Structure 1
Amino acid sequence: MQVIPAIDLLDGRAVRLHKGSYEEVTVYHESPLEQARIFAEAGFDHIHVVDLNGARSGEFVNLPHIREIISELGISVQTGGGIRKYEDVKMLLDAGLSGIICSSMAIKNESDWVRSLKEHPEAMILGMDLKEGKIAYAGWLETAEESVDSFLGRMIQEGLKEVLCTDISKDGTLSGPNFDLYNRLHNNYPGIRLIASGGVAELSDLETLNSAGIDAVVVGKAYYENRITLEEMASFNY
């Protein structure tokens, strides 16, 4: 199982939200580059970066910080937030991003999402953020009416290879992942690379996900709150 350290960017700073609320923000580092450097020096060659400004407004406010991380450290970055159309995907790929996570575009602009998926199948990641069982988008402020299984089934037919699934009720809570959710998705869609996100609180959570055969997991707050060390996280990547 791959463990992917997370950096959430808001106004150029590394932060975490509580359950996706922009009203509950904790700043962990003033410099995203220096935070990414800490991960790189610990042996991580791939990180997860979310542009929270972009997720809310659709503008890539923090792209210069992401470009700097890639150019200075030479690590690969998957990113989400603010991606609304095909041209956004092209711009981010041209900027050096290795993975493009889309949630709003997949729901609200399906034609551009499917085009991106067909042209760049290895780079496109469906951001399936779940709020009370429904797919949330637009900074987790809106939810789709189509069921998870219906939408996911259609996207797999279009060539989807990778899903990053977040249980919003768990995100930033340190209350443990939704193991039932990830087990169900892993068992029902074995051909999909599944990245779990949200709720990781301690080493045993990573061990449980690893034992369940989950492909990857994003870790953010548990690291920032000193619940899991970088050494413990990195031990799964060998």
Structure 2
Amino acid sequence: MDLQRNTVGSKQIFKNFNWFMKNRRFQQVTIGIAIFIIIYALIATSLTPQKYNLHPNEYATEDIISPKDVINEVATNKKIEQAIADVGEIYTPDRNIQKQAIDKANSFFNKVLEVQAMQISPDEKNKDEIKVNKLSSESPIKLAKDDYITAVQASKDDINSLRTRVIEYLNAAFEKNINDNENDLKEKKQDYSYAMSNLVLRKDLKDLGTNIGFMLIKPNMVLDI
């Protein structure tokens, strides 16, 4: 009787085991657990540093690699400083300098037209002298007296034509960028003067335009900090 029960029990266990083995859900869980165990074992093995049995003053028979990367901050900072030094100083154009020059030129020509339009008493003998003195005292650009005389006596069309060219040539000079050294500044002024000399205007007007430019052309490259 007991033998029969054991046989029946064994069959039931085998039947249950066989059912589990054929059950898809059971298979997925079993495979998942197996994969987890394998991955965990691999990670644990790779993270566990190898141990060496060494004694003080004993030389290692093989290279021992540190499990951590250590940054040498002193050496790294020196390399950074050296890299910065190798690049050198960097200069960028300051467009405000160009804008200020153009604004001053326009202000000058506006003042010239304003002075030319002044109403002076017919009885006054030195009308031009009065206008020249006023322009000299209120001009945004410091020029020689001969330049003020030329400006006061020029026609409105000549003044407007000269204004157009002065603005054009000033922009051309600044667009090429002017470094803070004597040679570059001299070169830019020479280019400006050459362009001005080719204008179809009276010589005194071309001289006026040249002198205006020379007063306004200055280095526009500033250190980029």
TM-score, length-normalised on structure 2?
0.25
More helix by share: 2
Q: Which has the higher contact order (CA 8 A, sep 6+)?
A: 2
| Bigger Rg over Cα | 2
Q: TM-score, normalised by structure 1?
A: 0.24
- Looking at secondary structure, tell me which structure has more strand per residue: 1
